[in-house]
Amino acid sequence: MRRTVLLGLIITATACAPAPLAVIREASTTPPPAAIPDDVEATSPEDAGAGGADESATAESAAEPEAIEVPESDEDRLMVDVDMAATFELQGEREPRSYDRLLAASAIDVEEWLATEFVTPEGIQWDGLRGGRIAAGPGARDIPGCGGAPVTAYEDLTLYVAFYCPIDDVIVLDDGPDGLLEHLSREHGAAATAVVLAHEYGHALQERMGLLDGSVPTILLEQQADCVAGAWLGRAASGGSNVLQLDESDVRTSLIAILNVRDPAGVDQFEPNGHGSGFDRIGAFQVGFEEGLDTCLTLIDAPLDLMPNRFLSYDDYVRGGNAPYDCAFDPDPACRPSWEFLGEDLEEFWSLVIGEPIGLTSSPAPGRASIDCPRAIPLNDIVTLCPGEVVFDETAVLPTYDEVGDFILGYLLALGWVEETLARVGSPAVSEDRVLLSDCLIGAWVSDITLGLDRDPARTSTVGTSPGDLDEALEMIIRLSDPSTATDRSGTAFDKIAAFRTGVLGGLDACV
């Protein structure tokens, strides 16, 4: 979080420089440089480290939500008996992977789906990949060079994770034992790999629509491909496939996968190889999931709104967008603990919303067992609403704060203020409906400190989000979500993120 009010608006996709063909890039690889506006006066790194004027939140690389239980076998999910060798050209050293059978079935299913549903206004239909699909591991020597060198080195493929080459009309995946796809599959589920494959098919559709000639910005191509991946998964998860059966756990896995291939904080979406923040990429995925392929095909001419992702000050850039947790190692006498300035902003915002003081403060507790107050309302395993106070378990917050970024605390504290606000206005929402309403209202607060549109003139707080903050909120949302629809307690990751995005993009009016 920052103390300077953001001037940024929703970025719309206009007047952007052409970009080369996009590929999925692993979150840990070297990204385009974080953007610093030319009109920002830079201070020295020593001054930037002082901290008092820069309370920010973001994660530079994707940190992973807790792993869900991964099925030991895909037997009950597949309606066909197929293996990788039947659907992919296998290159390099290889042993069986955790995703093999589901990925092989997904390749068949995506092809069948596109053959049925893809048709352009000009009558162009899906005709299959001329170059097929390649799964390449260590030692692979015949990976297409795609217009550059005769071949792509396997080491370079590991940086991309996956790519589509229009010259050869081929999709290539990193099939290595230590690659991001195998890691995500082992930790979260094989659907992570399947959604990456579906994304690359989105680029293959763009080749057939004549969109890969360099005239369309990469970010728009990536948004459309993310949408296509969502459209395919939405169909498969709703029972529309004759090849495989996917469910909410696969949707959750896919959301985690998308967060892991987002641009780092500070990367302008409209840089030549910008792919988008997690917030924007998941947004496109959700549009496809809910509205289908036909909507995805319109996104170049009618692009989705994108959120700001550039640092607006040198201080923010030096910090990577993160404020100190408690100022213990910050020598600046003006530095304040993160929960204090976040709590004060929440108090001001929600007091103005209901027209009377909420009357809450926030404080850490050295463990969940130490939170002892009358009429306590546990909001989750981390946050408890006490009379006049929002208390959080510091032992649970600190590791995630360091791993993901400081806005995970912003989201957690906001749960307390929103619950108190709902109680004050007598909201009848209960159970999962109340949880999703809370997520939407938290999004409305985030919108106020990110976009500042229709900001209440009585607002005096200058707290504002930094690049990456919204992605950090998504990380926390996924961690707190129900693992499947059967749980029905906190809301699924998909529904919670959709509610949060509704609030961010639409403000309070969109929630009530």
pLDDT for the residue numbered 485: 64
Question: Would residue 324 count as lying in a domain?
Answer: no
pLDDT for the residue numbered 80: 78
List the single range of 82-86, 409-413, 483-487 with lowest mean pLDDT.
483-487
Question: Would residue 107 count as lying in a domain?
Answer: yes
pLDDT for the residue numbered 73: 53
Are residue 365 and residue 285 in the same domain, yes or no?
Answer: no
Question: Would residue 309 count as lying in a domain?
Answer: yes
Are residue 172 and residue 112 in the same domain, yes or no?
Answer: yes
pLDDT band of residue 75 (cuts 50, 70, 90) is low
Q: Alpha carbon of 435 to those of 111, 406, 444, 484: distances in Å?
A: 38, 22, 14, 15
- 323 C-beta neighbours (distance < 10 Å), count: 33
Of 253, 286, 318, which closes a domain?
Answer: 318
Are residue 202 and residue 169 in the same domain, yes or no?
Answer: yes
Are residue 258 and residue 346 in the same domain, yes or no?
Answer: no
Are residue 400 and residue 311 in the same domain, yes or no?
Answer: no
Q: From CA 504, how far away is CA 502, in angstroms rounded? A: 6
Q: Is the pLDDT score of 10 beyond 80?
A: no
Strand order in the sheet with 133-136: 89-91, 133-136, 170-174, 162-165
Are residue 349 and residue 252 in the same domain, yes or no?
Answer: no
Specify the higher pLDDT residue, 367 or 13. Answer: 367
Q: From CA 96, how far away is CA 113, in angstroms rounded? A: 27
Q: Extract the tokens encoding 458.
A: 């009585």
Of 283, 318, 353, which closes a domain?
Answer: 318
Instruction: Please say whether the beta carbons of 323 and 54 come within 8 A.
Output: yes
Specify the higher pLDDT residue, 320 or 421. Answer: 421
Question: Would residue 331 count as lying in a domain?
Answer: no
Q: From CA 229, how far away is CA 211, in angstroms rounded? A: 17
Specify the higher pLDDT residue, 436 or 68. Answer: 436
Q: From CA 133, how far away is CA 148, in angstroms rounded? A: 19
Instruction: Please say whether the beta carbons of 280 and 223 come within 8 A.
Output: yes
Q: What is the DSSP letter of 312?
A: S
Question: Would residue 370 count as lying in a domain?
Answer: yes
Question: Would residue 369 count as lying in a domain?
Answer: yes
Are residue 306 and residue 359 in the same domain, yes or no?
Answer: no
List of residues 6+ apart from 168 with CB closer than 8 A: 130, 131, 144, 146
Are residue 143 and residue 113 in the same domain, yes or no?
Answer: yes
Overall domain count for the chain: 2
Of 265, 286, 318, which closes a domain?
Answer: 318
Q: Extract the tokens encoding 261.
A: 């291939």
Q: pTM score, two decimals?
A: 0.84
pLDDT for the residue numbered 342: 97
Q: Is the pLDDT score of 476 beyond 80?
A: yes
Are residue 314 and residue 367 in the same domain, yes or no?
Answer: no
Question: Would residue 9 count as lying in a domain?
Answer: yes
- What is the number of alpha carbons within 13 Å of residue 230 lying toward its C-beta? 25
Q: For 336-361, how does the pLDDT look when each residue is reduced to its tens digit (9 = 90+)?
A: 999 999 999 999 999 999 999 999 99
Residue with tokens 């496939």: 241
Specify the higher pLDDT residue, 485 or 327. Answer: 327
pLDDT band of residue 271 (cuts 50, 70, 90) is confident
pLDDT for the residue numbered 101: 93
> How many residues appear in the chain?
512
Are residue 279 and residue 386 in the same domain, yes or no?
Answer: no
Are residue 354 and residue 288 in the same domain, yes or no?
Answer: no
pLDDT for the residue numbered 369: 86
Question: Would residue 327 count as lying in a domain?
Answer: no
Backbone angles phi and psi of 330, in degrees to 5: -110, 115
Tell me whether strands 361-365 and 133-136 are parallel, antiparallel or unpaired.
unpaired
Q: For 113-163, how does the pLDDT look when each residue is reduced to its tens digit (9 = 90+)?
A: 999 999 998 999 999 999 999 999 999 999 999 887 889 999 999 998 999
List of residues 6+ apart from 81 with CB closer than 8 A: none
Q: Is the pLDDT score of 424 beyond 50?
A: yes
Extended beta strands in 92-169, E state: 133-136, 162-165
Average pLDDT for residues 266-284, to the nearest whole number? Answer: 90
Q: For 27-58, how does the pLDDT look when each residue is reduced to its tens digit (9 = 90+)?
A: 333 334 444 444 443 332 223 222 222 333 33
Instruction: Please say whether the beta carbons of 287 and 304 come within 8 A.
Output: yes
DSSP letter for each residue of 332-361: -TT---HHHHHHHHHHHHHHHHHTS----E
Are residue 252 and residue 109 in the same domain, yes or no?
Answer: yes
Q: By residue range, what is the domain housing residue 495?
A: 338-510
